[in-house]
Amino acid sequence: MAYLLAAQRLRRRGDAWPRWRDVSFTAGGVGAAWAAGGTAPGGPFTGHMIQHLVVGMAAPLLFVVARPLTLALRALRPGRARRRLLVLARSRPVGWLVLPPLAALLDVGGLWLLYRTELFAAMRHQPLLHGVVHAHMLAAGLIFTLACCPAHGRPGAGGIGPTVWVAPAHCPVVVAAPEYPVLRVTQ
């Protein structure tokens, strides 16, 4: 809601802000909300994977291309709040966080913990834990997308390369997951 109000504020004062970015942000929010609380089609594994793809990949991409930080910086009046947001965005910890290797580690590492420990079984029976896991997946997806999305315009952004080398890393995490013995690789 704050995003749409900020976009409206820009347009009221005569600044251009593409409406497709509003649609992108709204679609990301709707997708993340649906995946967190809705029922996905298919069986338990298929439904879970659909939720995983929406929360961890589709919604973050939709949010990042909507450029909420750019919108916030343009919509805020010059002053302390705008300066603080800019200082935070340019801070060293944020810079480290969006390095493609670290972002990939957070993304794939979270999946490893989810599928290779008892976390997945526990989350299925504890709604609060389920929400925390989904929040982590969304945050890790956002960080990874920010680190790799060339549309973000950061110098040194990873481009498509990190996506290519991280995508195959998802497979060993899920295959042989204790919760889905049918997927275990047998020799």
pLDDT tens digit string along 153-183?
554 444 555 555 555 555 544 444 545 544 4
Residue 26 binned pLDDT confidence (cut-offs 50, 70, 90): very high
pLDDT (mean) for 45-66: 86
For residue 105 the two structure tokens come to: 């580690």
pLDDT at 65 over 50: yes
Those residues with Cβ within 8 angstroms of residue 89's Cβ, 6 or more apart along the chain or in another chain? 69
Torsional sign, CA 119, 122, 128, 130? positive
CB 49 within 8 A of CB 111: no
pLDDT at 62 over 90: yes
Percent pLDDT > 90 in the chain is 31
DSSP per residue, 69-110? HHHHHHHSPSSHHHHHHHHHHTSHHHHHHTSHHHHHHHHHHH
**Whole-structure pTM value:** 0.78
The pLDDT, as a whole number, for residue 25 is 95
pLDDT tens digit string along 114-126?
888 888 888 878 8
The pLDDT, as a whole number, for residue 45 is 72
* Mean pLDDT of all residues belonging to the chain: 80
